[in-house]
Structure 1
Amino acid sequence: MVRRSALAPVLVLLAGSLAAVGPAHAGDPQARRASSSIANTSWSTGAQWRAGELKGLRVRAGSLVVKKPRTGKLGGRAYQVGTWTSPWAAPGFGLTQLIPSWEAVTEGDSVVKVQVRGQAADGTVSSWDSMAEWTLDNPALRRRSLGSQADDLGRVSVDTWQAATAITQWQVRVRLYRNATSKPLVRLDRVGAMASALVPRGSAPTSAPGPAAGTVLDVPTFSQMTHSGHYPQWGGGGEAWCSPTSTAMVLAYYGLQPGPFPVITAGHADPQVDHTARLVFDHAYDGTGNWAFNTAYASTLTAGDSYVTRLRDLRAAEDFILAGVPLVASVAFGRNQLTGAPISASNGHLMVIVGFEADGDVVVNDPAGASNSAVRRVYDRDEFEDIWINASGGVVYVINR
C-alpha cells in the first residue's frame, strides 16, 4: 500500500527528513517570542528503507516484509523475526521528548515491536528503549506499551520517550515478528517520530484567527458517556473512552468503520466506538489513551498517513481544517478553565477540533457531552489554546483519508 500525506502543502511529513511544525505567521505576536521546537521524521519508501539497516527483511512495493528471518522469542514464544534500524535523525535542536508512530499490517499471530534510542551532544548513546509491542488483533499476544524503562539518557512513559538531557540525534528500530508455523503477513508501511523541545507557554498571546475562521467540518458526533459500563476489559467506557471516541468520530467523518462489528454486543448505540476502544486498548497501560495506538489503528483503515505530532498554536491547526482534516487534540484543564465544557475538570482529555467560528473561537466535538446531541461545542480560543498547549505541548492525532 502506498501512503502519501494529503497535506503536503500544509504540514509536510517528510519521509527520511525533517519538517518543522507550525510556521511563524507574519503579524502574529506569538511568532515574535521564543517558541517550541518541533520536527517530524519518517521513513516510508524503498530508498528510505534501504538507507537503514535491514536484517531478515526486504522491501516490497515500498513496504518492509519478512524475508529470510532469524528465530527469536517474544512473550516466551518462538517467532520468525526481521529487524530494520533507521539512520540517525538529527532535528537540529536539543530534543527532550520523542513520540514515535507507525503504520503496519499485522495479520494473525504477528507483532510489530518499536524501540528508540538517543545520542547526546557529547556522543553518549542510550540503550534501546522499547516503546510498544503492537498488533491489531492478535489473540496470542496482546498489544502493549513497555513500561517505565530508564537509562542515563531517557525513560519511557507509555507513548513518549522523555530525555533526561538534551538529545541531538535519535534512531528507531522496528522488529517484525510472525508465527513460525502459519507465517502470517506482517508488514511495515511507515515509521517515524516527532521530536520536540517545549518552551513554557507562560503569558504568550493567543494566536490570531486565520483563513479557517468560519469553516466547520461536518464531523459526526459520538458521546463517550453513552458507553458507560461497556466492556470493562477495554476500559469500561464513559470517562475512560475520550480517545477512542474521538478517533471513531474522525474515521466516521471519512466514511470508514461501517461495521458490522461481530465482537460487539448487539444493540449498543454507535458500536464503532466500542470497536475502536477494543482495537486501541493498551493492555500494559490499561487504557485506551495511548496516542500512537490510536493513530496506528486508524492507519489500518485509511490510505493517507496517520501520526502523532505537536502544533504550536491554533493558527497551525487552521491549515488542517482548510484541508478538510479534523484533528484530535490532547488537553487538560482545571475548574473554570474551559467555559461551557460538559465536565468541570480533567487531567487528560481528547476532543476533535472540527472548525472555527467567524471570530476565531474553536468548534469541537467534545465526546464528554452527555449525549450525541451535546457533543458539538464552541470554546473560547484563548482558553482552548491555553489548556491544549500547557497540557500536552499541542499534541494532535493527524488522521488523513
Structure 2
Amino acid sequence: MDWICENGGLEANQLNNLTVKGEFAELSENNGEGFLETPVVETEKFKEITPSWNSRTDKDSSVEFFIRLRVEDNWTPYVSYGLWSTDGNNIGVKNYYKDEIIRATDDRIFVLDGKFGDAVQIKVVMRGKNPKLKLIAFSTDAGEDEPVEGDYLRTLANVPLISQLASGHKDAHVICSPTSLTMALKYHGKNVELDQVTRGTFDTGNEAYGNWPQNAAFAGEMGMRAYTKKCKSINPVKNFIANGIPVVASVCMNSKEDLDGAISSFSGGHLMVVVGFDVIDDIEYVVVNDPAANSNTEVRKYYRLDQWVKVWRHYIYAVTP
C-alpha cells in the first residue's frame, strides 16, 4: 500500500505557521519554525513500513520527519528520521527507536511479536530560512498487487553506466546507493555528479550512504518526485520500465552463487538500477546497471529474473519527473 500526499493535498493537513503556496508548504514567517501534521491515516494491516519526503532546503534550513503507528489500538511515540538538509548538512539518528511493539531502522519500521499496524500519522517540523515541503509518503507491505500494464520487455539504454568501484571515492566499496541514484538522476537530465550525491545522501547518524528515505529526499531536492516503495511482486518494477522509468532496487544475499554473474555476496545489502527486462532462449532476465563493477563498461548486467527476485528485498526508490 502506498500513501502519498502532495500538491493540493497538503492543505488537508493541520498547518502550524505554514502556508501552502502552489505545490509547496512553506513557513508563514520566512525564518522560524512550523509544522504539518496529517490526520490519522487508516490502512490495511501491515508488518513493515517505509517513509519518504521531498523538500527544498539549504544550509540555513531543515525539515524533520516524524511518523507514528497504531498497533492494536495502541499508538507508538512519534519516531524521528533526523534533521534533513541538503548538501551534506543533515543530522542523522544514531539510535533509532525500539520498544516491545516496533523496531525502527534507518529506512523501515517493523511491527514486532506477530502484531500488525493499522493506522499511521505523520508530522513534519520545518525550521530555518524558508524550507519548503513538497511531498510526504509511506509504503507498507499491505494491499493488493498491481497488474502488469504495458510493454516491459525493453531496455532503457540511456541510463548512464557508473561504477562505484572505479569512481575513486574514498568509500567506493559502500556507495552503491548514491551511485545508483546518480545514474537515475542523470537519466532524467539532472546535472549532478557522484561526489555531490554521496555528500548529499550521507547519513551522519549511522555514517552510511544507503539510507533509503534520505536518498529519495535528495532526489526530491533535485526537483524529482521520489519515494521509497515496498513491492508485492516484480509487477510494479515492470510497470515503471514500461513507462520509461528506471528504478533503484535493494538486494541482499548470503552467497554470490545465489545470483549468477554477481561480483559479491552483498550480505549487508546492495543497490542497483533496474533498466529493463529481456527474454533470451526462453529465460527471462532483469537488465540492471550494477554499480559493483570494476569499470564503467562492466556495469550493465543481465541477471536471471528467477534468481534475482529471490535476493531482491522487494523495495525500490521510485524516482520520477
TM-score normalised per structure 2: 0.90
- For 2:39 and 2:149, locate their aligned partners in 1 and report how far apart those are by CA, in whole Å: 39
Could you say what secondary structure the match of 2:75 adopts? Answer: coil
CA deviation digits over 1:28-71, x for unaligned, max 9?
xxxxxxxxxxx11121133x2232211111111132111259xx
Query: What CA distance in whole angstroms lies between the structure 2 residues aligned with 1:376 and 1:40?
Result: 30
| Match 2:286 to one of 338, 343, 362 | 362
Relative to structure 1, the CA distance from residue 86 to residue 224 in structure 2 (aligned partners, 3 Å threshold; closer, same or farther) is: same
Asked whether 1:222 is paired with 2:222, we answer no
Residue of 234, 239, 242 corresponding to 1:319: 239
Select the residue among 52, 59, 66 that pairs with 1:108. 59
Q: What is the identity, as a one-letter code, of the residue corresponding to 1:300?
A: E
1:69-123, Cα deviation, whole Å (9 max, x unpaired) = 9xxxxxxxxx82101111111222x1121211011011231110001111123x2
- Residues 1:247 and 2:208 are matched in the alignment: no
| Residue in structure 1 matched with residue 2 of structure 2 by the alignment | 40
Partner of 1:36: none
| Structure 1 CA distance for aligned equivalents of residues 24 and 301 of structure 2 | 41
**How far apart are 1:159 and its partner, in Å?**
1.9
Q: How does 1:163-312 map to 2 (within 5 A)?
A: 163-164=111-112, 165-178=115-128, 184-197=129-142, 211-228=151-168, 230=169, 236-258=170-192, 272-303=193-224, 305-312=225-232
Worse-matched range after superposition: 354-363 or 377-386: 354-363
Kindly state the Cα deviation for residue 145 of structure 1 after the two structures are TM-superposed.
Answer: 3.3
Classify 1:226/1:81 alpha carbon distance in 2 versus 1 (closer, same or farther; 3 Å).
same
CA contact under 8 A between 1:256 and 1:301: conserved in structure 2? yes
Asked if structure 1 preserves the Cα contact closer than 8 Å seen for 2:55 and 2:134, the reply is yes
| Separation of aligned partners in 2, 1:40 and 1:345 | 28
Counterpart secondary structure, 1:226: coil
Task: Give distance in 2, aligned partners of 1:281 and 1:315.
Answer: 30
Task: State the Cα distance separating 1:214 from its structure 2 match.
Answer: 4.0
CA change 1:192–1:358 in 2 (3 A) is same
Alpha-carbon spacing, 1:197–1:315, altered in 2? closer, same or farther (3 Å): closer
Deviation of 1:378 (Å) = 0.4
Q: CA deviation at 1:177?
A: 0.6
Q: How far apart in 2 are the matches of 1:317 and 1:150?
A: 31
CA, structure 1 residues 53+279, in 2 after alignment: closer, same or farther (shift >3 Å)? same
State whether structure 2 residue 68 is matched by structure 1 residue 117: yes
Structure 1 pair 80–138 and aligned structure 2 pair: CA distance change class (3 A): farther
Structure 2 CA distance for partners of 1:185 and 1:225, relative to 1, 3 Å = same
SS at match of 2:203: coil
Q: Which runs of 4+ in 1 moved over 4 A?
A: 207-210
334 and 380 in structure 1: CA distance in 2 versus 1, 3 angstrom threshold: same
Say whether the 8 Å CA contact 1:146–1:158 is kept in structure 2.
Answer: no
Distance in 2 (alpha carbons) for counterparts of 1:61 and 1:50? 10
| Structure 2 CA distance for partners of 1:350 and 1:366, relative to 1, 3 Å | same
Q: Structure 1 or 2: larger strand share?
A: 2
Give aligned pairs, total.
313
SS in 2 for 1:90: strand
2:105 paired residue number: 157
Distance 1:382 1:333 in 2: 14
Deviations 1:131-151 (Å, cap 9, x if unpaired)? 221100365xx3313522123
Deviation at 1:289, TM superposition (A): 0.1
Query: Structure 1 CA distance, aligned partners of 2:306 and 2:50?
Result: 26
Rounded Cα–Cα distance in structure 2 between residues aligned with 1:292 and 1:254? 19
Q: Any idea what SS the aligned residue of 1:279 has?
A: helix
Q: Cα gap change, 1:54/1:209 in structure 2, threshold over 3 Å: closer, same or farther?
A: closer
Query: Shift in Å at residue 329 of structure 1?
Result: 0.4
Q: Which amino acid aligns with 1:61?
A: G
**Residues 88 and 200 in structure 2, CA contact (< 8 A), matched pair in contact too:** no
Match of 1:135 among 74, 77, 85: 85
Q: Which runs of 5+ in 2 are unaligned?
A: none
Q: Which has the larger radius of gyration?
A: 1
Partner of 2:47: 96
1:302–1:400 contact (8 Å) kept in structure 2: no
CA shift in 2, pair 1:49/1:253, >3 Å: closer
Distance 2:254 2:94 in 1: 30
CA gap 1:214/1:52 in 2 versus in 1, 3 angstroms: closer
Residues 62, 386 of structure 1: alpha-carbon distance in 2 compared, 3 angstrom cutoff: same
Whole-angstrom distance in 1 between the partners of 2:12 and 2:265: 50
Deviations along 1:360-381, one digit per CA (max 9) or x if unpaired, are: 3111101001000011110001
Q: For residue 16 of structure 1, what is the aligned residue in structure 2?
A: none
Say whether the 8 Å CA contact 2:148–2:239 is kept in structure 1. no
- Asked if residue 56 in structure 1 is aligned to residue 54 in structure 2, the reply is no
Query: Secondary structure of the equivalent of 1:278?
Result: helix
Q: Alpha carbon RMSD of aligned pairs, Å?
A: 2.3
Would the aligned equivalents of 1:338 and 1:384 in 2 still touch at CA under 8 Å?
yes
Give distance in 1, aligned partners of 2:233 and 2:5.
26
Does the 8 Å CA contact 1:223/1:369 hold for their aligned counterparts?
yes
**Percent of residue pairs identical:** 28
For residues 303-358 of structure 1, give each alpha carbon's deviation from its aligned partner in whole angstroms, at most 9, with x where no partner exists: 4x211002222233111111110010000112210101122443200001001113
Amino acid in the other structure paired with 1:57: L
